[in-house]
Amino acid sequence: MGEPGREEYEIQSFDAETQRLLKTALKEPGAVDLEKVANVIVDQSLKDCMFSKEAGRICYTIIQAESKQASQSVFRRGLLNRLQQEYQAREQLRARSLQGWVCYVTFICNIFDYLRVNNMPMMALVNPVYDCLFRLAQPDSLHKEEEVDCLVLQLHRIGEQLEKMNGQRMDELFGLLRDGFLLQGGLSSLSQLLLLELIEFRAAGWRTTPAAQKYYYSEVSD
């Protein structure tokens, strides 16, 4: 799952003591407090959207290492507990910090992408992920380009596998997005473009057709 040394590069943003903690967790998870490690990763993910995009890889590596070393899941349990706490307080988080909210959605979608049980995404994450994406599809969120951008990026990444887990909710989500695109005034031209591209992306079987690539991405770069 990634190049050697990739995880080390991603933890350079931490202080020296936390870097040691994370490096040990990646190699010898039994030697550190894994609940503390889970909290450190979530805290950083809420502050740093670049880190939140890659944190799933680090979590996956720690979970694999712990499973091999001790056949336990202390880290995974701590991680999921903390994700649930932040999920339950998501409206307060969004009101307090739009960036923190966008980072949280990015992080939980990243965890959904990486964590597997019997080679399937974790069922426990399906509805929380959907709920976050539905929140991004509400009228007030569609007026904020940061939230539209986050929604589009996450659905490009995990939309296909999320739809396999619950197709009805994906239909409902795209019903909201179509209504937002067609009926809602005041959307920026970039948000309209991103939403239309996303609707066509799903209609084409979660693929970008050559014609769409040429049309949308030349528009965005312009």
Assign residue 62 the CATH number of its domain.
1.25.40.180
Look at residue 1 in the predicted model and tell me its pLDDT.
Answer: 42
Q: Are residue 132 and residue 201 in the same domain, yes or no?
A: yes
As a whole number of angstroms, the distance between CA 58 and CA 56 comes to: 5
Same domain, 81 and 154: no
What is the reported pLDDT for 211?
Answer: 80
Question: Parallel, antiparallel, or unpaired: how do β-strands 120-121 and 116-117 relate?
Answer: antiparallel
Identify the bridge partners of residue 120 per DSSP, sorted by sequence position.
117
Tell me what pLDDT residue 118 has. Answer: 80
76-131 pLDDT per residue, tens: 999 999 999 999 999 999 999 999 999 999 999 999 999 988 888 899 999 999 99
Confidence at residue 8, expressed as pLDDT on a 0 to 100 scale: 58
Q: Which domain holds residue 161?
A: 120-217
Number of domains in the chain: 2
At residue 93, the pLDDT reads: 97
35 in any annotated domain: yes
Please tell me whether residues 90 and 150 are part of one structural domain. Answer: no
Residues 91 and 159 reside in one and the same domain:
no
Query: So what's the pLDDT on residue 221?
Result: 57
Q: Does residue 5 lie in a domain region?
A: no
> What's the pTM?
0.89
Give the residue from 140, 145, 129 showing the smallest Cα distance to 195.
Answer: 145
| Runs of H (alpha helix) within the chain | 6-10, 16-27, 34-47, 49-70, 74-88, 90-96, 98-114, 123-136, 139-142, 145-165, 167-183, 189-203, 210-221
User: Which domain-ending residue is among 117, 142, 164?
Assistant: 117
Listed as ranges, residues in the chain with pLDDT below 70 are: 1-9, 216-222
User: Do residues 69 and 152 share a domain?
Assistant: no
